[in-house]
């Protein structure tokens, strides 16, 4: 019976190892800002008491401790150490990952681009209006718009609002720009802890840098 169980354990851990190797390759190839947050979110999601890979690993360690307690009840010290390891993985490490994910939406001051720098190489607003209208018309029925669509739309509306604000006529453009910016943050699963329109400029500048 033990050999069967050990075989299943080996198979499961080999599968996990293969998945982590694939994940490591993706990370080494390069992750943009949205991909970075998505990965951290998959590793640890504080919602619903904490889900993701790390909490699940913590549950495995806790279960191992329970098995030791049942089969070798005099190894209290071993159970205690395993419980501590589980708590560190699921709570301490998990909370730090969540903090890192939130901090990614708070760029350092030197990384916070002005509108002039963010849109220095942007196409004309007329060109972007045409691209967005074409992308919206060609989107298959029932499918979601791409992140590029939401980024370019949010950037366009931000630029229009900035032009209106420059002549002291913000009107509805600022509200539309803010809504589009928040939609982009929803797509990126970014915590709303910064000015949404500043976030758009940061992401637009980052995309222009990596193209």
Cβ neighbourhood burial of 144 (10 Å; 0-12, 13-18, 19+): exposed
Identify the weakest region by mean pLDDT among 22-26, 77-81, 89-93, 192-196: 192-196
Residue 76 in tokens: 């209290």
What's the CA gap between 183 and 68, in Å, rounded? Answer: 49
CA distance 128 to 204: 13
Q: Please state the rounded mean pLDDT for residues 10-35.
A: 88
pLDDT digits (tens, 9 = 90+) for 117-170: 999 989 999 999 999 999 999 988 888 889 999 999 999 999 999 988 776 665
pLDDT at residue 113 greater than cutoff 80:
yes
Alpha helices in the chain (DSSP H): 2-29, 33-43, 53-71, 76-87, 94-103, 115-118, 125-138, 147-166, 173-188, 196-209
Tokens coding 70: 């049942």
Segment 36-47 mean pLDDT: 82
Contacts of residue 37, defined as CB under 8 A and 6 or more positions apart, other chains included, come to 101, 104, 105, 188, 189, 190
Q: Are 163 and 156 in contact (CB under 8 A)?
A: no
Distances (CA, A) of 100 to 36, 109, 201: 10, 17, 21
Angle between helices 53-71 and 94-103 (to 10 degrees): 170
56 versus 49: the higher-pLDDT residue is 56
> In the numeric block, which tokens belong to residue 22?
């694939």
Q: pLDDT of 60-111, one tens digit each? A: 888 888 888 888 888 889 888 888 888 888 778 877 887 777 777 665 555 6
Domain boundaries, the chain: 31-103, 109-209
């Amino acid at each position: 019976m033990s050999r069967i169980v050990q075989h299943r354990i080996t198979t499961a851990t080999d599968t996990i190892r293969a998945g982590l190797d694939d994940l490591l390759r993706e990370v080494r190839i390069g992750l943009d800002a949205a991909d970075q947050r998505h990965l951290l979110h998959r590793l640890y999601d504080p919602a619903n008491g904490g889900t993701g890979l790390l909490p699940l690993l913590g549950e495995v360690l806790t279960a191992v401790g329970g098995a030791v307690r049942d089969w070798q009840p005099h190894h209290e010290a071993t159970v205690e150490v395993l419980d501590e390891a589980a708590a560190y993985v699921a709570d301490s490490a998990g909370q730090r990952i969540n903090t890192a994910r939130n901090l990614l939406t708070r760029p350092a001051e030197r990384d916070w681009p002005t509108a002039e720098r963010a849109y220095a190489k942007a196409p004309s607003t007329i060109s972007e209006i045409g691209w967005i209208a074409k992308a919206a018309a060609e989107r298959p029925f029932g499918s979601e718009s791409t992140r590029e669509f939401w980024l370019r739309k949010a950037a366009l509306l931000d630029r229009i609002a900035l032009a209106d604000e420059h002549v002291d006529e913000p009107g509805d453009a600022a509200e539309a720009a803010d809504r589009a910016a928040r939609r982009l943050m929803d797509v990126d699963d970014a915590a709303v802890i910064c000015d949404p329109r500043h976030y758009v400029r940061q992401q637009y500048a980052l995309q222009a840098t990596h193209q």
